[in-house]
Amino acid sequence: MIKGSLKGWWAFLVVAMLVLAACAPAPAAAPAAAEPAGDASQGDAPAATSERCGDSSQLSDSISFYNWGDYIDPDVLTMFEEECGVKVIYDTFSSNEDLLAKLQGGATGYDLIVPSDYMVAIMIQLGLLKELDHANIPNLANINEQFRDAPYDPGNKYSVPFMWGTAGIGYDADKVTTPPTSLAALFDPAQAKEYAGKISLLNDARETIGAALKYLGYSVNSTDPAQLEEAKQVLLAVKPYILTFDSDTYSDLVVSGETVMGHGWNGGFAVAIDENPDRNLGFVIPQEGLTIFVDTLAIPASAPNPYTAEVLINFLHEPEIAAMNTTAVLYPTPNDAALEFVDEAIKNNPAIFPSLDDLGNTEYIHDLGEVTQLYERIWTEIKAQ
């Protein structure tokens, strides 16, 4: 268990982002492609852009960035807009599957997206990503070797790691009898019943079925139909005690007292812990282990402004910029050069920067090919019940 003690002005910005995200209407379609449709909009680009902006004559007027919620320091986007003269059209999604559905549904306006590891593999196979020109992304060299050249994208041909993290359980220690250490807190009906209506689970087929599989002692990547059926039964048995399946506000729910514990990702809870130093909030990776992820910056094959997207990827991996982001969203950056600009209190907080040596039971989600459909079917059944 960890407790937060960090304080920061950025907390306000994160809350503001949450409020904005909550108020924003769900976009019916991808934002319109920037005008003109081509990448270059010579003449319009401001005369003086910083050296962090690449070749200004090739920059588009705007760029459409589709990211997870609460996953950027808004100041970074403003800096990019002001420094490079490119307007950022920013929108958010809540799961890899939603992102995929958006692209498969024919959305063509996005220039920069943030798929996780396994989703990169899926999108490469489907031809949905554009090969990156590494010459435009020299800051790739700042990425820790452990996160480069991963099996989901050998050679980082299509993706650059953005942030990484783990799933776990966040909780209010003043409202639970004992702080959770095991997935049994969520999935043993006898235990979950004690907090009936005060528990949330991620709204994410692979994460949540994966968590139930982990509780049962199986892999989050199980392809065994019998194990998957067992996981489904686990989820159905506790569903009456689940307030909501939610991937965006799980930590707010604990803060507001609507839940006492929730399944979520580390940074979301780390921000809540940090913003509420007077509360007894905690986050734990359960003893059974759970998921670890690397979310990446990638460019859709259909992107109208791929050059500008590469420039933004590179900008996001300037050491100071990556440090700003990690400090705001409290997910660990894979950018080694950024670490000297990150507070010791953040770097040494194991809930924010888990020790990579200490994650033995955690697993990356893998692309399971056709078995994915079985997960989707089970997920639909669980949600429908």
Note whether 291 and 363 are within 8 A (CB).
yes
Q: Does 362 participate in binding ligand N2P (rule CB under 6 A)?
A: no
Note if the bond before 161 is cis, omega within 30 degrees: no
Stretch that binds ligand N2P, among 220-228, 233-241, 260-268, 319-327 (CB under 6 A): 260-268
Determine phi and psi for 75, rounding to 5 degrees.
-65, -30
CB contact set of 164 (below 8 Å; sequence gap of 6+): 147, 292, 293, 294, 295, 331, 332, 334
Among 10, 66, 68, 245, binds ligand N2P (CB under 6 A): 68
What minimum distance in Å lies between the beta carbon of 68 and ligand N2P?
Answer: 4
What minimum distance in Å lies between the beta carbon of 69 and ligand N2P?
Answer: 5
What minimum distance in Å lies between the beta carbon of 369 and ligand N2P?
Answer: 21
Q: Does 69 participate in binding ligand N2P (rule CB under 6 A)?
A: yes
Q: Which is nearer to ligand N2P, 17 or 63 (CB)?
A: 17
What minimum distance in Å lies between the beta carbon of 86 and ligand N2P?
Answer: 24
What minimum distance in Å lies between the beta carbon of 352 and ligand N2P?
Answer: 13
Q: What DSSP line would sit under 299-317, residue for residue?
A: -BTT-S-HHHHHHHHHHHT
Distance CA(172)–CA(290), nearest Å, equals: 20
- Burial tier of 182 (Cβ tally within 10 Å: 0-12, 13-18, 19+): middle
What minimum distance in Å lies between the beta carbon of 71 and ligand N2P?
Answer: 4
Q: Which is nearer to ligand N2P, 71 or 307 (CB)?
A: 71
Q: Which is nearer to ligand N2P, 86 or 220 (CB)?
A: 220
Q: How many residues does the chain have?
A: 385
In three-state secondary structure terms, 3 is coil
Residue nearest to ligand N2P (CB): 68
338: β partners: none
Among 268, 282, 304, 332, binds ligand N2P (CB under 6 A): 268
Residue 130, number of CB atoms within 10 A of its CB: 18
Q: Which is nearer to ligand N2P, 84 or 284 (CB)?
A: 284
Q: Does 70 participate in binding ligand N2P (rule CB under 6 A)?
A: yes
Distance CA(225)–CA(80), nearest Å, equals: 48
Distance CA(103)–CA(124), nearest Å, equals: 12
Q: Which is nearer to ligand N2P, 70 or 252 (CB)?
A: 70
Note whether 220 and 206 are within 8 A (CB).
yes
Q: Does 266 participate in binding ligand N2P (rule CB under 6 A)?
A: no
Q: Determine the size of the site formed for ligand N2P (CB under 6 A).
A: 10
296: β partners: 161
Q: Which residues, numbered 114-133, are part of the site for ligand N2P (CB under 6 A)? A: 116
What minimum distance in Å lies between the beta carbon of 223 and ligand N2P?
Answer: 22
Q: Which is nearer to ligand N2P, 116 or 136 (CB)?
A: 116
Residue among 273, 246, 300 nearest 65 (CA): 300
Stretch that binds ligand N2P, among 188-196, 237-245, 263-271, 373-381 (CB under 6 A): 263-271
Q: Does 10 participate in binding ligand N2P (rule CB under 6 A)?
A: no
Tell me what percent of the chain is helix, strand and coil, each rounded to the nearest 5: 45, 15, 40
In three-state secondary structure terms, 316 is helix
Stretch that binds ligand N2P, among 44-52, 63-71, 105-113, 121-129 (CB under 6 A): 63-71
Distance CA(118)–CA(316), nearest Å, equals: 22
Q: Which residues, numbered 286-345, are part of the site for ligand N2P (CB under 6 A)? A: 293, 295
Contact set with ligand N2P (CB under 6 A): 68-71, 116, 265, 267-268, 293, 295
